[in-house]
Amino acid sequence: MLFFLTSDKWALWERRIGYFTARCQSCHQETWQILFHMWRTKGSQISPPTPWSPIHGQAYQVRCNGCGVPAMVGHPQTWVPHQAPGFVHEHHHQTMPATPMYTTVAIPVMR
């Protein structure tokens, strides 16, 4: 029982942090591309993970507003300045539990 209470419990979170216009590599439309920060935290059964628990892996994902297909990207500081002119940084979106359909491609590249 004690083992169960202290066993690791993981959670995945996401937060929309910006958007820009670009041609999607999947649907080839020139449309909004939404940037999300995704991260994973660890807790336990008696102390469930929250978005503010220690981070064990994170990644950045762009989702096409036209077709919804996600693409994993590097840290925004490494590409936004020269590859996403007109990028709009957003700070008002709430942290949410990550959308399951988008975590599958994100988890393998989290570090």
65 belongs to the binding site for Zn ion (CB under 5 A): no
Q: Which one of residues 12, 22, 34, 64 is an interface residue with Zn ion (CB under 5 A)?
A: 64
Residues in region 66-85 near Zn ion by CB under 5 A: 66-67
Cβ 67 to Zn ion shortest distance, Å: 3
> Phi and psi of 90, rounded to 5°?
-120, 140
Alpha-carbon gap, residue 3 to 30, rounded angstroms: 52
Residue 106 contacts residue 72 (beta carbons within 8 Å)? yes
Alpha-carbon gap, residue 95 to 74, rounded angstroms: 20
* Segment lying near Zn ion (by CB under 5 A), choices 15-23, 26-34, 46-54, 78-86: 26-34
Alpha-carbon gap, residue 68 to 76, rounded angstroms: 19
106 belongs to the binding site for Zn ion (CB under 5 A): no
Q: Which one of residues 6, 7, 8, 26 is an interface residue with Zn ion (CB under 5 A)?
A: 26
> What does DSSP assign to residue 95?
P
Cβ 101 to Zn ion shortest distance, Å: 15
